[in-house]
Amino acid sequence: MISLASTKTSKPDISATKSQPLVRFDKLYWLRIGLAALAGFASNELVGVDWSTGVTIGIAVYLVSYYLAWYVWYRGLARNLQGKIYTTGIGGFVMVFLFTWILFFTLQNYPV
């Protein structure tokens, strides 16, 4: 009879179970949400209706947040986690940026 349960037990190698230090990206996320609100407000005040320049402001602010975060918090980050600096908070950034830009544009041009 063949048994699926192994009678041998082996202890895992200690070096294989060492965990990497936990890297927190929550500061980066909230930094990008705040900068998105400022970029949306700035796009409305500086540009107004011209959407291409407003989007360029949003992209520039996002890139500035990448370099700021990399130099301040994540300079010694492992190579396999560096892509997370790009992607953390991108959806929230886009949504908050568009929301604030549209909100301030609507409030500015609302007929009284």
Gyration radius (Cα) of the chain, Å: 23
Counting residues of the chain whose pLDDT is more than 90, the rounded percentage is 40
DSSP class of 81: G
- Supply 55's token pair: 């989007």
Which of 47, 46, 39 lies closest to 97, judged by CA?
A: 39
pTM: predicted TM-score of the whole model, two decimal places: 0.75
Please state, in angstroms and rounded to a whole number, the distance separating the CA atoms of residues 57 and 39.
7
Q: Is the pLDDT of residue 16 over 70?
A: no
- Can you spell out the DSSP letters for 60-82? HHHHHHHHHHHHHT-TT--GGGT
**3-state DSSP call for residue 77?**
coil
Whether 100 has a pLDDT exceeding 80, the answer reads yes
Give the pLDDT mean for 88-107. 93
Work out the pLDDT band at 33, boundaries 50, 70, 90. very high
- How many Cα atoms sit within 13 Å of 36 on the Cβ side? 19
